[in-house]
Amino acid sequence: MDRFNLTGLNSEVQYYQYALDLVTDVFDLDCDDEMRETIEKSARHLYGLVHARYIVTTRGLNKMLDKYKKGEFGKCPRVHCHSQPLLPMGLADVANTKPVKLFCSRCEDVYNPKSTRHAGIDGAYFGTSFHNIMFQVYPTLIPAKSVERYVPRCFGFKVHAGAALVRWQGAQRDEMKRRLRKAGLEVQLGDDSGDEEADGDVQFEGVPS
């Protein structure tokens, strides 16, 4: 009912006035089923856009705070975040761009909702600013950042960083071979034969110098 929250929305919603009447329960237009379905779709879209503005008001923040404290938006799936409550957020303020996501204030990462029903909600109905405004207004809610990180181990021993480097180098070598073969070039890399230098120089065969 706050007209300020409706500013500019008439250009974004089809049949705006009819949709507003339907949301505010004063709709009395006698129309066919197809027209009514279109107006109901516009009303849902209008309600979502108004919702994005309402939740950054004082009253809206208070209601969202209660839901956040109860964990109604879910808990962070990351083990080292210890079930930190999540907040809904959008990756875009423009409707029909990206669905709603969930933000964890401990690891500061973004996750997909578990429910497919929730995943179908437009992210613009929450906006890109809500979760940041929430922690600006309630700074005591900001949790300590998680410094715990998973350490890869084999039989209790840490996996040496060099092992990951070797795997990465092998993947890069295979990718280079694939690209050269695709280009029609015969190639030998590093230790593919015993005649190459140990430092992995590339030798081409059948290519004019």
The whole-angstrom separation of Cα 45 and Cα 58 is 23
Neighbours of 122 (CB within 10 A): 20
Handedness of CA 17, 18, 23, 24 (dihedral sign): positive
| pTM of this structure | 0.69
Task: With beta carbons less than 8 A apart as the criterion, state whether 88 and 101 touch.
Answer: yes
The whole-angstrom separation of Cα 94 and Cα 96 is 7
Residue 35's pLDDT is 80
Over residues 110-164, the pLDDT tens digits come to: 999 988 888 789 999 999 999 999 999 999 999 998 888 888 888 988 877 777 7
Give the pLDDT mean for 87-96.
92
